[in-house]
Amino acid sequence: MLPKYVFFVICLLIANGAIAQTGQLEIEAPWARATPGQAQNGAVYLTIVSPTTDRLTAASSPVAEKVELHTMSMEGGVMSMRPLTAIDIPAGQAVTLSPGGTHMMLLGLTQPLREGQSFPLTLSFDHAGPRQVTVVIEKAGAMGPGGQATGSLPMHMHH
């Protein structure tokens, strides 16, 4: 009886390994900052994890005329932003698009981005193909999803 049981466990382990190998690309916590009324541009941030090497090559959304992949860097004390043709997604490594780094620019907003609302965003990958996600709009100064703002800590009152 033991050999059959061992064989069954080995088959389960092999099956689980096969499932892990064919895992899908995941897009985690897509978010954007709220924009002032007349703003023409906004930005989207998120994290991408793929079990296989891939490339994010384009994005689009009905809330903007154009969505561009951008990177920000400091050169000689000057912040510069430039468009990217693609963002490489290494196998098994999280790639996070965040304020002050690589991000997506929403150019020519068709409406202001209001805190608490959301909008659809379609991402195009070389291998995974198009993926649609829902982007949650955080407050204007947010530094991350879930309303993380710069320098704001929860206050606790003690009596």
Query: What structural domains and CATH numbers belong to the chain?
Result: 25-143 (2.60.40.1890)
pLDDT of residue 10: 52
pLDDT of 9 higher than 60: no
Using alpha carbons only, what angle is made at residue 91 by residues 85 and 94, rounded to the nearest 5 degrees? 75
How far apart are alpha carbons 19 and 38 in whole angstroms? 48
**Band of residue 128 on the pLDDT scale cut at 50, 70, 90:** very high
Token pair for 97: 């698009």
Average pLDDT over residues 138-145: 91
57, with CB counted inside 10 A (0-12, 13-18, 19+), is middle
**Which 8-state DSSP code applies to residue 157?**
-
What predicted TM-score, i.e. pTM, was given to this entire model?
A: 0.77
Q: Are 32 and 44 in contact (CB under 8 A)?
A: yes
Element (H, E) at 2: helix 2-21
pLDDT of residue 102: 95
